[in-house]
Amino acid sequence: MNKINVNDFRKANYPIDEMFLNRWSPRAFSGKAVEEEVLMSILEAARWAPSGSNKQPWRFVVASEKEEREKFNQFIMEGNLVWCKIAPVYALIISDSEASPSHVFDAGAAWGFLSLQAMKNGLITHAMGGIYKDKARELLNIPEKYTIHAVVAIGYQDDVSVLEEAYQEREKPSERRSLSETIIKGSF
């Protein structure tokens, strides 16, 4: 498999742990099953994310069986489905909007922990906002108090050649804007 060298695309301006540079969102998934112990490890990491007043409002609706993934495929938009349908696991990220005013922020922290632990466990993740949320709510019986955020494809990375040509060209780590464009000192 042609491994992409992240250092060709990403360089930190200040010292940080390599895991932050090495985590990116590939689309080239292998169909290899994710072992239950490995999957539970990444969900365990997400469990330890910080949250406002320790409310832990996030939930993950996980699909690891074929029938479950086929149900998820019904609400994933075609542009994503074309490459993600081979992923052996999906996790729909939702959060309890009644639990805390920071439920969206907290769910994002849990997703971040999940993605970093997945990378440490040799997996790739790719979060997708391109989903039909109303259809997901209906198919998965999600109560109205839960906000639907994104579905994450989880699995092992495969060679870029498994992707359609248009996606092969995009299969590389993205750069980030500079800190000077991100930091606003004092006030806006």
**Distance, C-alpha 51 to centroid of its chain:** 18
Helices 66-73, 133-140: inter-axial angle, 10-degree rounding: 140
The two structure tokens encoding residue 166: 């248009």
How far apart, in whole angstroms, are the C-alpha atoms of residue 161 and residue 165? 8
Domain ranges of the chain: 28-158
pTM assigned to the model: 0.94
Query: How does DSSP classify residue 33?
Result: P
Q: Work out whether the CA dihedral 113, 154, 27, 135 comes out positive or negative.
A: negative
The radius of gyration of the chain's CA atoms, rounded to the nearest angstrom, is 17
How far apart, in whole angstroms, are the C-alpha atoms of residue 94 and residue 107? 7
For residue 118, the tally of other CB atoms under 10 A from its CB is: 26
Which CATH number among 3.40.109.10, 3.30.200.20, 3.40.50.720, 1.10.10.10 corresponds to the domain 28-158? Answer: 3.40.109.10
- Residue 86: name the closest of 128, 133, 32, 42 by CA: 32
The two structure tokens encoding residue 21: 């540079």
Taking only the tens of pLDDT, the chain with its 188 residues reads 656 777 778 899 999 999 999 999 999 999 999 999 999 999 999 999 999 999 999 999 999 999 999 999 999 999 999 999 999 999 999 999 999 999 999 999 999 999 999 999 999 999 999 999 999 999 999 999 999 999 999 999 999 999 999 999 899 989 999 999 999 999 99
The edge-to-edge listing of strands for the beta sheet with 146-155 is 58-63, 89-96, 146-155, 124-128
- How confident is the model over 113-146, as pLDDT tens digits? 999 999 999 999 999 999 999 999 999 999 999 9
